């Protein structure tokens, strides 16, 4: 007897599910029940779907799968940050982070297993890119971090940042579909204004975000304000230089009026001088940027080239930007003791 080819039920639309149930002689409303189990209640098995009859649950299990992420390891930082390593149904590993503060609980999620961009300061950049995460896997990641937030801090996620492993704009369709599910009333129902997608700078796809009239925020990982230095640490700049990115960001803003942030990691004796600050101000004035986040560098085991500047240098850099009417803040890293801080995700366990 030929085995039934099982389909991922999370990749079926509600109309497709309704058609399936009618085809097998079931009531149409069963589709809505299953859809709610899959997306709102985050069911991991058909056995979880307690308002369906046993025979129907068995039939669904024969024809469909729910290939969710499994929690592989969880690490707890002294500052309350929680890093989770997830295992996919095909045994790949990917990390996500829950970052709590007094005002908010933020999920930092990954969009790829590994990364192809090879940024010189980022642990993930030293890994090979294995594959993109599917939109339902990204959604599962968010739901599991949300459950952690509710269990540990008694509150739902308030924000989501696509700043984990991978380049979100190189997994464009899955990232957008996951955000569609996250913001949908029959998903997590989160406001898109509470979601930020971070990119190393894929100009063509930044423009596509504008064409698609997305409603979430965009962050550019800038980290150097001239092409020579940016080429050194971010090879993607060789094909997406600063002039191209400025043009793409202006197009994105014209089409969406969504908030844009610059992310700028400060590296000792590399991009922390007054001249570097002046170059950053020049770019800031060419784009409608809402905020510049100055981020402290977090050391990674793969690379001893970079170090963080001393506190006086950081304060002088920030003060110079502020004096020149740049809206700037220092983003202190969380979870450094468990390698959960910016640039440190690398599946080390």
Residue 117 and residue 125 in contact, taking contact as beta carbons nearer than 8 Å: yes
Give me the sign of the Cα torsion angle 181, 186, 192, 196.
negative
**pLDDT at site 306:** 83
Distances (CA, A) of 318 to 95, 222, 243, 267: 31, 16, 24, 13
Kind plus residue range of the DSSP H or E element containing 331: strand 328-331
**pLDDT at site 159:** 97
Scanning the structure block, which residue is given the tokens 């994105």?
252
Rounded to an integer, what distance in angstroms lies between the CA atom of residue 243 and that of residue 108? Answer: 29
Alpha carbon 178 to its chain centroid, in Å, reads: 10
**pLDDT at site 340:** 61
φ, ψ dihedrals at 182, nearest 5° = -65, -40
Report angle CA 276, 233, 106 to the nearest 5 degrees. 85
- Tokens, residue 143: 């739901």
Partners of 145 in the beta sheet?
A: none
φ, ψ dihedrals at 226, nearest 5° = -140, 155
- Tokens, residue 303: 């690379």
Catalytic residue list: 95, 342
Interval 184-206: pLDDT, tens: 998 999 999 999 999 999 999 99
Kindly report the CATH class assigned to 70-338. alpha beta
Give me the sign of the Cα torsion angle 210, 215, 219, 225.
positive
Using N-to-C axis directions, what is the helix angle for 242-256 and 203-211, rounded to 10°? 10
Rounded to an integer, what distance in angstroms lies between the CA atom of residue 337 and that of residue 76? Answer: 9
- What is the radius of gyration, based on Cα positions, of the chain? 22
Alpha carbon 118 to its chain centroid, in Å, reads: 17
Rounded to an integer, what distance in angstroms lies between the CA atom of residue 96 and that of residue 111? Answer: 10
Residues 6 or more apart whose CB falls under 8 angstroms from that of 304 comprise none
Rounded to an integer, what distance in angstroms lies between the CA atom of residue 157 and that of residue 139? Answer: 13
- Tokens, residue 153: 């801090």
Residue 310 half-sphere exposure toward CB, CA atoms < 13 A: 2
- H-state helical runs in the chain: 14-23, 29-39, 54-63, 135-153, 172-183, 203-211, 227-233, 242-256, 274-284, 311-323
Rounded to an integer, what distance in angstroms lies between the CA atom of residue 133 and that of residue 29? Answer: 30
Rounded to an integer, what distance in angstroms lies between the CA atom of residue 340 and that of residue 279? Answer: 30
- Tokens, residue 18: 């309704």
Residue 299 half-sphere exposure toward CB, CA atoms < 13 A: 8
Rounded to an integer, what distance in angstroms lies between the CA atom of residue 205 and that of residue 249? Answer: 10
Low-confidence residues of the chain: pLDDT under 70: 1-4, 118, 120-121, 123-126, 300-304, 335-349
Task: Map residue 290 onto helix, strand or coil.
Answer: coil
Percentages (nearest 5) of helix, strand, coil residues in the chain: 40, 20, 40
DSSP assignment letter at 308: P
Interval 35-72: pLDDT, tens: 999 999 989 999 999 999 999 999 999 999 999 899 99
CATH of 7-65, one of 3.30.70.870, 2.40.30.10, 1.10.150.530, 3.90.1150.10: 1.10.150.530
Every domain of the chain and the residues it spans:
7-65, 70-338
């Amino acid at each position: 007897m030929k085995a039934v080819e099982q389909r991922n039920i999370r990749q079926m639309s509600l109309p497709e599910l309704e058609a399936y149930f009618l085809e097998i002689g079931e009531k149409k409303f069963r589709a809505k029940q299953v859809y709610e189990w899959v997306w709102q209640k985050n069911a991991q098995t058909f056995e979880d779907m307690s308002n369906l009859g046993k025979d129907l649950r068995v039939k669904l299990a024969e024809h469909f799968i729910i290939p969710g992420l499994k929690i592989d390891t969880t690490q707890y930082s002294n500052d309350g940050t929680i890093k989770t390593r997830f295992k996919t149904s095909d045994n790949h590993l990917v990390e996500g982070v829950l970052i709590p503060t007094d005002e908010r609980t933020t999920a930092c999620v990954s969009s790829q297993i590994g990364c192809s961009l090879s940024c010189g300061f980022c642990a993930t950049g030293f890994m090979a890119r294995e594959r993109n995460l599917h939109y339902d896997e990204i959604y599962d990641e968010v739901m599991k971090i949300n459950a952690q937030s509710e269990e540990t801090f008694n509150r739902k996620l308030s924000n989501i940042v696509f700043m984990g492993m991978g380049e979100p704009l190189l997994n464009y369709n899955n990232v957008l579909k996951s955000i569609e599910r996250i913001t949908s009333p029959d998903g997590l129902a989160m406001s898109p204004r509470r979601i930020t997608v971070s990119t190393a700078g894929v100009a063509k796809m930044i423009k596509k975000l504008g064409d698609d009239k997305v409603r979430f925020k965009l962050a550019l990982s800038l980290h150097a304000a001239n092409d020579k230095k940016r080429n050194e640490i971010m090879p993607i700049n060789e094909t997406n230089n600063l002039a191209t990115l400025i043009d793409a960001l202006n197009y994105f803003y014209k089409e969406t009026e969504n908030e844009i942030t610059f992310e700028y990691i400060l590296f000792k004796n590399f991009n922390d001088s007054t001249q570097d600050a002046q170059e950053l101000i020049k770019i800031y004035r060419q784009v409608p940027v809402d905020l510049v986040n100055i981020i402290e560098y977090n050391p990674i085991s793969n690379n001893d080239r970079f170090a963080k500047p001393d506190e006086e240098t950081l304060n002088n850099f920030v003060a110079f930007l502020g004096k020149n009417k740049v809206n700037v803040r220092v983003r202190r890293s969380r979870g450094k003791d468990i390698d959960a801080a910016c640039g440190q995700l690398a599946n080390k366990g």
